[in-house]
Structure 1
Amino acid sequence: MKLPTFAMGMLAGIAIASGALAQETIRIATEGAYPPFNYVDASGKLGGFDVDIANALCEAAKLQCEIVAQDWDGIIPGLLAEKYDAIIASMTMTPERAAVVAFTDKYAQVPVRFVVSNELADQIDSTPGEGIEQQKTALAGKTVGLVAATAAEPYVRDTFGDTVTYRGYQKMDDAIQDLIAGRIDAYADGAVPIENLFLSRDEGKGFRFGGDAFSDPTYFGTGNGIAVRKDDPELLEKLNTALAQIRADGTYAKINDKYFSFDIYGE
């Protein structure tokens, strides 16, 4: 039986609506203060490696996504409170975090290091010993800056104990300004943003990395992953499948080369 024209129009509208509902929408949080991984540009728009990766994953997984900014110290609580569905913010996969959120496969790996003045770096290099023991001896009695809730914070506090004085920050920018002004002697965080945000700029002249990178997997895990709630295995699977796809089809490499002169994925 042939349907009247108006009935066919109604059915078409229902089909379109059903298709729209079938297109899942998720909210993704990033920090917006960790260039080149995530930042807010001059127009107020979120950008960076993490944002480009998020958009590529959503396209590969056929997900409609909204990317929002969230301060770092509240980023996991916000996920657990269902303010958003995933975190793509260069988050290191540590055992402590894995106890409360589920992580995808690795999508990047950023070394964590101290940045210090050239004079202090020379002192670290000339101090007897190797690795952390060398740094502990050279930094004894110094003031170290740490951003709250970064992977570097618990490691430095646990490893260096009361041999140094600590000053806490909410953002890297504030810590760097205090390093330049001499209010702290060293700052620990991801080597890539330190390089791009500070050392590669005029204000970074006179400073460099001091000592070896930190590598304890108990604190620094096995790379950066995307965090989702533990009760959302379907989204986790979709993101892992999409990640494998963009790694295989060259999309990841194009995004990588936009921001880095080396493979940020690591080994």
Structure 2
Amino acid sequence: MNKVILAAAALAVLSTAAQAQTVRIGTEGAYAPWNIVNDAGELAGYEIDLGNAICEQAGLECEWVQNDWDSIIPNLLAGNYDVIMAGMSVTEERKQTIDFSQEYYPSDPARFIVMTGSDIDVSNLSGVRIGVQSNTIQAAYIEENLAEGNTVVQFANPDQSIADLAAGNVDVILADGSFLESVAGGAQGAFELVGDGIVIGGGVGAGLRKEDTDLIATWNEALDALKADGTVNELIIEWFGEDGSTF
């Protein structure tokens, strides 16, 4: 009888441990409205709310890890966290190294932003200084299509690129439209979006290690449920406004 009790107790401990599995989520904390550090010094944004909702839906404990963009994939592969939620577009190039969950935001077209009143014609860029965040799909697009005849300035984080645009160190910036809309909308008219949106990558999804197939399946099951009950669309509208791209 004692052996049966001990076995049952051991199973209960194992079951509790499984339920309390901690998933570490890496994010940048510098890309509004996807992920930011708020006035209280805490991570906030669409992906923070969604990541927490996914963990609650899946019965997982969430632990957020803030990480610079340039090393965000290497640190996932190194095991410093288990999932990336950082406004990362799904691309074939990235899929050679990591896997992705299903998309939790449809394709976010890139946009150009300039200082208000600029006479730069983004349909025919020549002899200008183009700012872009390094290791992004926008940086790859600029190098392939607009590097010749222009000066490309790469930045480690998006806030630095906006600061250099304001300081006159670059003439135009290319980045995700949703991020630049938040910049233009909160800058009292200092910046303006110009030109049409440019679709470069796919939608935005969570990055995971290829071998973590169980976690990928769990993440997708939770996203399916949150899309079905309207949570994902509600969070998109909350953080991106009524013009946000919903499912």
Tell me, yes or no, if structure 1 residue 144 matches structure 2 residue 127. Answer: no
Q: Match of 2:52, as an amino acid?
A: N
Which one has the bigger helix percentage? 1
Provide Cα deviations, 1:201-229, integer angstroms capped at 9, x if missing partner. Answer: 245x14211212112xxxx3221011111
Q: 2:79 aligns with which of 61, 78, 82?
A: 82
Distance in 2 between the 1:66 and 1:211 partners?
39
Q: 1:192 aligns with which of 178, 196, 200?
A: 178
Hey, what does 2:65 align to over in structure 1?
A: 68
**Unaligned stretches of 5+ in structure 2?**
none
Tell me, yes or no, if structure 1 residue 35 matches structure 2 residue 19. Answer: no
Structure 1 residues 32 and 18: alpha-carbon distance in aligned structure 2, compared to 1, 3 A threshold: same
Contact kept? 1:107, 1:265, Cα under 8 Å:
no
Tell me, yes or no, if structure 1 residue 201 matches structure 2 residue 199. Answer: no
Hey, what does 1:20 align to over in structure 2?
A: 16
Aligned pairs for 1:158-237 within 5 A: 158-196=144-182, 198-203=183-188, 205-215=189-199, 220-237=200-217
Q: Match of 1:81, as an amino acid?
A: A
Structure 1: which 4+ aligned runs deviate by more than 4 Å? 10-16
Structure 1 residues 151 and 21: alpha-carbon distance in aligned structure 2, compared to 1, 3 A threshold: same
Aligned length in residues: 244
What secondary structure, in the 3-state scheme, does the structure 2 residue paired with 1:107 have? Answer: strand
Distance in 2 between the 1:175 and 1:30 partners?
19
Q: Match of 2:70, as an amino acid?
A: D
Contact kept? 2:104, 2:232, Cα under 8 Å:
no
Q: Shift of the alpha carbon at 1:266?
A: 4.7
Structure 1 residues 208 and 241: alpha-carbon distance in aligned structure 2, compared to 1, 3 A threshold: same
Distance in 2 between the 1:157 and 1:89 partners?
22
Q: Match of 2:197, as an amino acid?
A: A
Q: Shift of the alpha carbon at 1:15?
A: 5.3
Normalised to the residue count of structure 2, the TM-score between the two structures is 0.90
Q: Shift of the alpha carbon at 1:188?
A: 0.8
RMSD of the TM alignment (CA)?
2.1
Identity fraction in percent: 35
Distance in 1 between the 2:157 and 2:120 partners?
27
Q: Shift of the alpha carbon at 1:176?
A: 0.8
**Unaligned stretches of 5+ in structure 1?**
125-133
Tell me, yes or no, if structure 1 residue 241 matches structure 2 residue 221. Answer: yes
Q: Shift of the alpha carbon at 1:263?
A: 5.8
Normalised to the residue count of structure 1, the TM-score between the two structures is 0.84
Contact kept? 2:104, 2:204, Cα under 8 Å:
yes
Distance in 2 between the 1:224 and 1:213 partners?
16
Q: Match of 1:113, as an amino acid?
A: R
What secondary structure, in the 3-state scheme, does the structure 2 residue paired with 1:119 have? Answer: coil
Contact kept? 2:236, 2:246, Cα under 8 Å:
no
Contact kept? 1:28, 1:66, Cα under 8 Å:
yes
